[in-house]
Chain A
Amino acid sequence: MTMMLTRQRAKEIFDKVIKYSTAEETEAYITSTASALTRFANNTIHQNVAEEETALSVRAVVEHRTARASTNRLDEPSIRQTCEAALALARLQPPNPDLLPLPHPQTYGSVDRYYPETAELTPKARAETVLSVLQRAEKDQLTAAGVYSSGAVATALFNSRGLEAFHEETISEFSVTMLGPTSSGWAKQTSPFHLELNTAALAERAARKALEGGSPRDLPPDKYTVILEPSAVLDLLGFLFFDFGGLAVHEGRSCLTGRVDEKVFGDNIFVRDDVFHPLQSGPPFDGEGMPRRRVNLVEQGVVKNLVYARSTAKKMGKEPTGHGFPLPNEYGEAPLNIVMEGGRATLDDMIRSTPRGLLVTRFWYIREVDPYQKILTGMTRDGLFWIEEGKIQHGVKNLRFNQSVIEMLRQVEMMGPPQRTAGEESFEMVVPAMKVREFNFSSATKY
C-alpha cells in the first residue's frame, strides 16, 4: 500500500477550504490512514483486513464561537458544504468570551518516523511471518492467537493565520498469545519500523510462559511483592497521566488537585513527557498546531509540572506546552509521550532478590475505582508466576487487584531500563519493569 496524503496534497485540500470558508478564522485538520492487520487464532489466519481513508475536519471561528465539521468526501462541493456546516454550527451557540484566536505559524522540532518498507508491507509477507509463529506454537502443541499489523498515518494541520504542520509516520504491531491446556503466555511489541519487531523472540517468550505456567496453583489473595513486566507497569500508569493535564487540575477532576509541587510519589520516580525521545512516536505538534515541548512532570517523586493547552495556559497563567487536544473539547490536554526513568536491574536481578513474590506479565480490564486516591482494579492475565527464594516456582491462577497507583509509586524497590512498551489498556510509553512491595490482591479467579 502507498501513502495517499502528502504535504502537497494536504495543502491543495486546505486551499479549497480557504476558498470556501467565510468564517473569521478557519483551521483544517486532514488525516490519512492506510493500514492492514493480519489476525490469527487456533493456529490459523482467521481475519485479515485492510483500510484506507482520508478525512478533512474543518473548524470555524466566528464571533467568539467555534465548531467542527468533518467529512471523508474531498470533492469541491463536499469541502464547501463542510466549511458551511462548521460555520453554521458555530453560529448556533452562545459566544464564549474565553475563546482564543487561532495560533500564528510555529516551528517544530523534527522527528523521523516514516519507513516506506513498513508502509508497503504485503499481506503475503505478514502471512509468512505468522506462519512461522504458528509453527513455533505447534512444536509444543500450543495454540497461538495474535495480530501482525502495519500501515501509515499522515496528519496535516493548517490554519488561516498561516500555520502549517505536517507529520507522517508508519506503524507496526505484533502481539501473540500462546495457549496451553491450563495456561497461557503473551508478548507484544510496536514500532514505526516493522523490522524492529522481533516476532520470533516474542513468540518464544509467549510460548515459554505458557509452558512454564502449566497447572497453575491457587494462591490466597493478599499483599505481595510483585515484579511487574513493562506492559503491566504501562497499563497501570495509563490511568494516571491524564491527571497531569492543567485543566483536569483546574477543574478538580484530577488526583493531583492540591498536590502540585508536593511529593506525591517515591524518591526514585522521575517522569517526563518527550515527543523527541527516540523510542517515542507521534507528531511534534498538538491539536491546535502548537509545538510539543519536553516537560518534566515528576522529579524525585515531586509533581513539578503539568501540561497546558493554549486556553488552559491562559486560564492558569502558564505557558502552553503543546499538549492540547483538537478543539473544541472538554478535556484540555494530556501528556502522551511519557518517558519514565528506570534503573539497571534486569528481571532476573529482581527475581533473584525476592524471597516471596509474584511475577506479573500483564494486567487486564483495569478500571478506576476511586478517582482521587487513584485506586484501580483489574486482573492478572497470561502469565502469573510464584517466586520463592529468588526463583520462579510455578504458575498461579489469576488474581484481582485493588491498588492505588499513587501508593504503588511510593513502594518501588527496583527498576529495569525503560523501554518502548505496548499493552492493551493504555497508550504506548517508555517505561521500565518494576519491583513493588505490598501490592494489594483482593480475590482470585478459577483458572
Chain B
Amino acid sequence: MRRGRTEAAPQRARPSIQEMKDLAQRALETAVAQGASYADVRALRVRQRYLSTKNGEVAQVRESESFGLGVRVIAGGAWGFASTDRLTPEGLDAVAARAVEIAQASALAKKSDVQLAPEEKFVDEWEAPCQIDPFSVPVSRCLDLLLKVDAELRKVQGVTLAECQMDFRRQEQWFVSSLGSAIRQVKTQTGAGFVATSFAGNEIQRRSYPNSFGGQYQTKGYELVEELDLVGHAPQIAEEAVALHSAPQCPAGVRDIILGSSQVGLQIHESIGHPIELDRVLGTEANFAGMSFLTLDQLGSLKYASEIVSVVADATPSHGPGLGTFAYDDEGVPGQRTPIIQNGLFVGYLTSRETAAAIGKPRSNGAMRAEGWNRIPLIRMTNVSLEPGRGTLDALIADTDDAIYMETNRSWSIDDRRYNFQFGTEIGWEIKHGKKARMVKNPSYGGITTEFWNSCDAICGPEEWTLWGTPNCGKGQPMQTMGTGHGASPARFRRVKVGVAYGS
C-alpha cells in the first residue's frame, strides 16, 4: 500500500485460498499417517476491526489479523486436538503429531471408543451475503458517524458519558476431514450501537440502542449500520437515560409483563437455547457452564411453554443473517432447521455428531462451532428463534389492562441447570387500561423457566420480529466466545414476580 494519508483500508499479507487448503490438507494427511482413525482440520484467517468513541473523542481504533490451523483427531478411540500459528511444513507436521499424541493420552482414561453419527462427504463453498464490505468503508467515515451520535447524546443535559462503537469481523475457513469433505466458508459480521449513561445523586442510569452490550450484531456487512439509523435514535435514548432518575422505582409484586423483543431474545438465549445443548444435558459441561434441567426423559413429553409458543433452531440462510447462520457447522454437517418447541411441547436438542450418536439419532443437526483456529468445536446455539405470533406491539399494549412493559437488558443471571432466572432491564413503563403510562426505573423480573414460558399468552407478529445477535456467549474450557442469533417479537407473560432484584 501507499504510505501517507490514505483512505483505503490497508491490504495485508495473506495466504491464498488454495494455500490455506493445501496447509489444511497436509496437516490432515499427517494426522491420518500418525494413526488417527478420524481427523478434521480447520484453517482460518480472521480479520477484525473495532472502532469506538467516548465523550466526543475517539476511544479505540484497532485492527487485528489472525491466521492458524487446528487439528482434531480420534486416535486410540479418544479425542485429541492441537493448534498452531506455525504454518511451515515442520509446524504442520508437529501439530498433527501432537494432536495424535494428545488423543493417545486421552485414551488412558477412556471408558469406550468415541462414536460419531454418520455424515456424508461434502465438497462445497459458501459465502455469507454481505452487500457492503465493512473493511472497505473508510475508518474516518465510521468515526464521523460515531462522533455525530456522540454529539447528539451529549446535547441532552444530564448525560455524563456517551459511548458509541462499531465492530467488524470477517472469517474465512477451510474445513477438511478424513471423510473427504473440503468446505470453504466466508462470513462477515457487523455490530454497532451506543450507550448513554447518566450519573446523578447516588444513581447511575443507562440507556442503550439498539441493544445493550455492544448493540445489534448480524452476519452481514456495513448495511447493518445504515439500517440502524444510530443518529436518529440518539436524542430519545439520551433523554430516557436522564429521565430515569426522576422515574419511580418499578413496583414489586406479582404482575403481568410485556417484554421488548431484544429482552425476549435474551430470555430465549438463557432459558431455551442453553438448556437444549445436548452436551450440557449429557454432563460434559458439568464443571463450568453447567448441566440442564432438560433430561432425556423430557424429550417429546415436557410442556415447556404455552401452546402459542413455537421455537426453532435454524442455521439455514433462509432464516436470515443471524450470528448462527452458516452452510456447514465445524464438523462438516450441513446447517439445518430443527424444531425445538412445537406449540409448547419440547421436541428437540442441539447436537454434535458424538452426542447425536449417544442418544441414538441417525444424524447430527449441525450445531458444532469453534471460536477460532485454536479451539475445538462445541455445541453452540445457531439461530434459536421464537416464531412470530400476531399483531403489533401497540395492539398488544391496547389489549393489556394492567402490566409493566420492560425494555433492553441490564442484568441477566440463571442457575447452572437453566431453571431459576432473574433479569433486569434498563427501562420500563406501566401499562394502564391499554395505554403506556408512567416510566419506571430499575425494572426486574424472575421466575422458573418452564413456569415462565407457560405463562406466555401473547406474541407479536412478524412486523415486530427482529433477528437479534448475541455476540458474547461464553462456553467451554478453555473459554470460547461465540455469536448466536435469536429472532423474537415482544411478548406478554402473565403473573410474573417483578421488582425481585431490589426487594429485601
Contact = CB atoms under 8 A, between A and B. Distances in A.
Interface residues of B, number: 95
A36 B106 CA distance: 13
Interface string A369-383: 111110101110100
Contacts of B106: 38, 45-46, 48, 123, 127
Interface in A119-141: 122-124, 126-128, 130-131, 134
Contacts of A45: 78-79, 105-106, 108-110
A93 B143 contact: yes
B321 to A, nearest CB: 27
A70 interface: yes
Given A328-B61, A330-B163, A128 B10 contact: no
A48 B81 contact: yes
Interface stretch (A252-260, A292-300, A429-437): A252-260
B413 A367 contact: yes
Nearest to A329: B60
Interface stretch (A82-90, A273-281, A302-310, A410-418): A82-90
Nearest to B60: A328
Contacts of B103: 48
B432 interface: no
B416 A379 contact: yes
Nearest to A438: B504
Given A50-B98, A51-B82, A75 B13 contact: yes
B288 interface: yes
Nearest to A147: B477
Interface string B433-453: 000000000101010100000
Interface stretch (B65-73, B181-189, B215-223, B257-265): B65-73
A328 B62 contact: yes
B108 A52 contact: no
A147 B284 CA distance: 11
Contact of B478 (A49, A365, A446): A49
Contacts of A70: 62-66
Interface string A198-230: 000000000000000000000000010000000
Given A88-B10, A92-B143, A93-B61, A400 B422 contact: yes
B61 to A, nearest CB: 4
Given A379-B413, A444-B420, A257 B67 contact: no
B374 A51 contact: yes
Nearest to B354: A46
Given A73-B13, A179-B283, A367-B412, A92 B109 contact: no
Given A81-B13, A367-B412, A377-B501, A145 B287 contact: yes
B151 interface: no
Given A73-B13, A78-B12, A330-B59, A369 B411 contact: yes
Chain A interface, DSSP helix/strand/loop, else mixed: strand
B407 interface: no
A252 to B, nearest CB: 3
Contacts of A182: none
A52 B86 contact: yes
B140 interface: yes
Contact of A46 (B6, B64, B98, B284): B284
A110 interface: no
A94 B53 CA distance: 11
B286 A145 contact: yes
Interface stretch (B199-207, B236-244, B325-333, B488-496): B199-207
Interface string B130-171: 000000001110010001000000000000110100000000
A317 B307 CA distance: 62
Given A126-B105, A375-B501, A447-B419, A88 B1 contact: yes
A366 interface: yes
B61 A365 contact: no
A341 interface: no
B58 interface: yes
A9 B503 CA distance: 57
Contacts, number: 308
A68 B59 CA distance: 12
A48 B105 contact: yes
A442 B283 CA distance: 28
Contact of A53 (B85, B111, B504): B85
Nearest to A257: B199
Contacts of A41: 283-287
A22 B65 contact: no
B502 interface: yes
B199 A368 contact: no
Interface string A41-65: 1111111111111110100000001
A73 B138 CA distance: 24
A149 B478 contact: yes
A319 to B, nearest CB: 23
Interface in A89-105: 89-94, 96, 98
B41 to A, nearest CB: 14
A69 B62 contact: yes
B396 interface: no
B341 to A, nearest CB: 20
A124 B62 contact: no
Contacts of B444: 369
A421 interface: no
B54 interface: yes
B376 interface: yes
Contacts of B60: 68, 328-330
Nearest to A42: B283
A442 B284 contact: no
Interface in A332-349: none
A359 interface: no
- 4 tightest A-B contacts by CB? A252-B199, A123-B105, A445-B420, A70-B64
Given A53-B66, A72-B65, 11 more contacts: A38-B106, A44-B110, A45-B110, A46-B79, A71-B12, A91-B6, A149-B477, A328-B59, A328-B62, A402-B503, A445-B420
17 contacts: A47-B376, A50-B99, A51-B84, A53-B84, A81-B10, A82-B12, A88-B6, A92-B7, A92-B138, A94-B147, A98-B57, A176-B287, A257-B199, A377-B422, A398-B420, A400-B415, A442-B446
Interface of B: 1, 3-7, 10-13, 52, 54-55, 57-68, 78-86, 98-99, 101-103, 105-106, 108-111, 138-140, 143, 147, 160-161, 163, 197, 199, 202-204, 206, 282-288, 290, 293, 374-376, 410-417, 419-420, 422, 424, 442, 444, 446, 448, 477-478, 497, 500-504
